[in-house]
Amino acid sequence: MLKRHVVALHELTREEFVELGELQALAVRLLHETLDSAKEYSVCFAEKEGFQHIHFHIVAIPNDLPDELKGTKVFAMINVTETEALPREEVKAFCEALRNRA
């Protein structure tokens, strides 16, 4: 894992890119095996108000995802109320299950 702050991909060293690729490959494999996803998106953002650094989202795309949520529109799924969202304990249990499979 990156041990320093960077704000752009070009700041990563070759070794950091190799490690990033390995981590993404692991995340994609685990998500696909666990969720039987149709495909997976790897998305990098490098700015948002209050977040001036690179960060990645690995998004598992379900087989039945409606067309209106494909591509970058998939991020509409994070705009839900607390009651519409998965319970925190369920999310935590899922993350722990992925960690145990790694």
Instruction: For residue range 32-81, list pLDDT tens digits in order.
Output: 999 999 999 999 988 778 778 888 999 999 999 999 999 999 999 988 99
Domain-located, residue 46: yes
Q: Is the dihedral of CA 85, 89, 94, 98 positive or negative?
A: positive
Show the domain range for 52. Answer: 9-101
Average pLDDT, the chain: 92
DSSP H or E segment with residue 57:
strand 55-61
- pTM, to two decimals: 0.85
The phi, psi pair for 55, rounded to 5°, reads -155, 155
71: left (phi over 0), alpha (psi -120 to 50) or beta: left
Domain-located, residue 41: yes
Total domains in the fold of the chain: 1
- DSSP 8-class letter at 1: -
